[in-house]
Amino acid sequence: MKKLIERTPETFREKQNIDAHVHHEVIEVDLPGRRVHIEDMQNNRSRWEAFDRLLIATGSSPILPPVSGADAKGIYGLSTLESGLKVRRVVDETSPRRAVIIGGGYIGLEMAEALILRKLEVSLVERAPQVMNTLDPDMGKLVSDALMNVGVTLYREESLEGFEAKNGRVSGVVTDKRTLPADLVILGMGVKPNSNLAEQAGIPLGFKNSIKVDQRMQTDVEGVWAAGDCAQCYHLVRKQPFYIALGTVANKMGRIAGLNIGGETAEFPGVVGTAVSKICDVEVARSGLMEKEARELELDYTAQTIETSTRAGYYPDSGPITVKMLGEKGTGRLLGAQIVGKEGAAKRIDVIATALHAGMAVDEMIHLDLSYAPPYAPVWDPILIAARVLVKKL
Amino acid sequence: MKKLIERTPETFREKQNIDAHVHHEVIEVDLPGRRVHIEDMQNNRSRWEAFDRLLIATGSSPILPPVSGADAKGIYGLSTLESGLKVRRVVDETSPRRAVIIGGGYIGLEMAEALILRKLEVSLVERAPQVMNTLDPDMGKLVSDALMNVGVTLYREESLEGFEAKNGRVSGVVTDKRTLPADLVILGMGVKPNSNLAEQAGIPLGFKNSIKVDQRMQTDVEGVWAAGDCAQCYHLVRKQPFYIALGTVANKMGRIAGLNIGGETAEFPGVVGTAVSKICDVEVARSGLMEKEARELELDYTAQTIETSTRAGYYPDSGPITVKMLGEKGTGRLLGAQIVGKEGAAKRIDVIATALHAGMAVDEMIHLDLSYAPPYAPVWDPILIAARVLVKKL
């Protein structure tokens, strides 16, 4: 029998052959006893239940540093469907005027877009010199510019120090440089894996406190599995364990865990670090390694950046696109790329992702038979142009 | 010294260090004498000039079967910038009401779109049961439907038999089933390589009468090179010579020829048969082999087709996308894919093209770390969904 213990009903869709318990939560795992302690949140009761196989899919939680005033109402992290619905309800019902977003990553970018479209005054506080720390700063600057172009007030190199509140509701965001008035605060400082339950049970953790799993998604404990934002994965370019809290990766991990738990044998080879986002009409994408990562790994690399257009220059709605590509000197191996540009820019990262999976060299990429027609690309696709420029420096 | 002999000035852009002769044409190549016979078309003179190295880049010409009335005015092939400008001028100046397009390939599709947008009554005559013979008929049907949806009157399984004319101007297209009134006729029956000049000089031809070249773009004659629509290329999936008259391939071949002629050593590995087009808001793409080709090559293959959405289902402007993917039984090798769908559908073919270059197996593709965010894709990109369905049948 399959039993699902799920705290939030909003993220649950009815499935056949599953004994689902929403508003329930596993609060303890007893590994030697092969049983879990389940809390019934609606009836305030708890019970122990035995398991043969256990899948931990506890997800991740928004990071909030220990600052003053964080318990005020009106401060929201976004990590579940439930949390997204809550913020929308708050905007609908309380009509906040001034929103402050803390952090310029994917959540920050997407919430900035959503709140700008809802006509709020949006400020964004970013600790680093540029938003999007999954891009190199030169590419991040293009995203910073895009945020400002759509009306977001950007405060860079400023750190969150705390919150001010009136009558228990947030009224301001205190940084190391100023206090920003706020009716609504969005936390976009990243997420951390919800690995406490596993850790307390004695299940070993791995990269950045995510649950250590093998390629079959099994933890170091036989019969106990983990998948999704709570678990680590393997990075095929870094060639080491990694943590990446993205829906597409979580979904792949869940499938692999499910196949293995069901008796099949399936392995998840790993990720190459692909991610994509947008702020209004500016698209952002990355895959593989950025310069900071290549330096950390002590790789001898070169990076080149090109600017061209998303479509044939004469075609309507052709827009600028910037591609930065990294390759390893000596081997010539493709290491990664970052893309910022107008419509049609971002999905080009999938070519990079595929080439990274295949371990392609940059000089193989310059001949890729990528599609061309004036509505879709210049005769030389931006990826090919970047590869051609990069290959000369390798 | 570099000398360029070019018949049509419209396709020529001024370049440094090139002695360009527009309105000139090479009419004969004397291989033993290492010289070419050049006609000065404006002054009606000709002369012989010596060469050390010769590049033949004569392009291709629209195919027109030997039917009656083909010399009437108002019948246009599209193969050069000049020919496109001419048709636009005709539409601007003579305001034709009824256009008939012969052939439902890339040119037919793009001209249908252009003429529908110019408010003409557009008919399209296609010999086969469906348009787009570079797709399998089941995928071609989706394109036929798209043409009809934008108002094109489609006549399938009808063959061109001739043209009717009044006062020297085309007035009708005669098929084996009817006569269609026409003020303007567009030929979209494919192109043939302009290889006569080479053939007459004794330079060996290759696949489908295109000029035979090696991977450096040199013909069988030392010092004589060919590139672009007049030359053959190598198909990396078919593993045999091929002919493909597309700008992106021509451009790559030209670069390789230029590098080699200039003294460097460069090779063009070949193509995988990628092409992309659209009819208004329906995008069309293909790469690799379709079923007909797999059968011709006597490959043991399986094809699977999936339907999903271009973006997350709940995201605005998400539209349908159909992906058909072919894999080889036994080896599990990806053979090709075809895509028809709404905005964002077509460029996904570049993942297929990259995977074909890398010789990937379908079961490697199901784990590709393709980008996901709701504006760009479902959590499982359509390519991944197709691979997952196909891999079960291999």
B160 and B125 Cβ atoms separated by less than 8 Å? yes
DSSP letter string, A145-159: HHHHHTT-EEEES--
First to last CA, chain B: 56
Decide if B136 is inside a domain: yes
pLDDT computed for residue A12 by the predictor: 60
Distance from CA of B287 to the nearest CA of A (A): 9
Q: Is ipTM strictly over 0.90? A: yes
pLDDT in tens, B330-365: 999 999 999 999 999 999 999 999 999 999 999 999
Q: Comparing C-alpha atoms, which of A235, A231, A236 is closest to residue A219?
A: A231
Decide if B266 is inside a domain: no
B54 and B228 Cβ atoms separated by less than 8 Å? no
Residue A271 DSSP code? B
Q: How many contiguous H segments (helices) and E segments (strands) does chain B have?
A: 9, 24
Q: Does A79 share its domain with A152?
A: yes
B6 and B21 Cβ atoms separated by less than 8 Å? yes
pLDDT computed for residue B20 by the predictor: 86
Q: Does B70 share its domain with B167?
A: yes
Decide if A273 is inside a domain: no
Decide if A312 is inside a domain: yes
B76 and B162 Cβ atoms separated by less than 8 Å? no
The total of structural domains in chain B comes to 3
What does the alpha-carbon distance between residue B354 and residue B313 come to, in Å, rounded to a whole number? 27
Decide if A326 is inside a domain: yes
* Residue at which a domain ends, from B202, B228, B261: B261
| Residue B26, domain CATH | 3.50.50.60
Indicate yes or no: CB of B372 within 8 angstroms of CB of A277. Answer: no
Q: Does B84 share its domain with B48?
A: no
Decide if B125 is inside a domain: yes
pTM of the model as a whole:
0.96
Q: Does A19 share its domain with A100?
A: no
Decide if B323 is inside a domain: yes
Q: Comparing C-alpha atoms, which of A262, A273, A274, A275 is closest to residue A216?
A: A262
Range of the domain at A89: 62-191
Which of A247, A367, A371 lies at the smallest CB-CB distance from B350? A371
Q: Among residues of chain A, what percentage have pLDDT more than 70?
A: 98
What does the alpha-carbon distance between residue B252 and residue B255 come to, in Å, rounded to a whole number? 5
User: What proportions of chain A, in percent to the nearest 5, are helix, strand and coil?
Assistant: 25, 35, 40
- Amino acid identity, residue B7? R
Q: Is A285 on the interface with B (CB under 8 A)?
A: yes
Q: Is the pLDDT at B17 greater than 80, yes or no?
A: no
Decide if A274 is inside a domain: no
- Amino acid identity, residue A214? D
Q: Which of residues 244-283 of B touch A (CB under 8 A)?
A: 246-249, 251-252, 268-278
* Residue at which a domain ends, from B261, B291, B317: B261
Which residue shows structure tokens 């595929």? A354
Q: Does B287 share its domain with B380?
A: yes
pLDDT in tens, B224-257: 999 999 999 999 999 999 999 999 999 999 999 9
Q: Does A163 share its domain with A224?
A: no
Q: Does A209 share its domain with A129?
A: no
Reported confidence tier of residue A81, pLDDT bands at 50, 70, 90? confident
Q: Is B310 on the interface with A (CB under 8 A)?
A: no
Of the CA atoms within 13 Å of residue A217, those in its CB half-sphere come to 32
pLDDT in tens, B106-130: 999 999 999 999 999 999 999 999 9
Q: Is A382 on the interface with B (CB under 8 A)?
A: no
Q: Does A200 share its domain with A55?
A: yes
Distance from CA of A286 to the nearest CA of B (A): 9
For the sheet with B121-126, list strands across it: B75-77, B184-187, B98-102, B121-126, B153-156
Q: Which residue does chain A place closest to B286, by CA atoms?
A: A371
| Enclosing H/E stretch for B358 | helix B349-358
Q: Does B172 share its domain with B199?
A: no
What is chain A's Cα-based Rg? 23
Helix A349-357, helix B349-358: angle, nearest 10 = 20
Q: Comparing C-alpha atoms, which of A122, A139, A132, A261 is closest to residue A183?
A: A122
Q: Does A288 share its domain with A182?
A: no
Q: Does B49 share its domain with B69?
A: no
First to last CA, chain A: 56
* Residue at which a domain ends, from B169, B191, B213: B191
What does the alpha-carbon distance between residue B48 and residue B266 come to, in Å, rounded to a whole number? 31
Q: Does B119 share its domain with B94?
A: yes
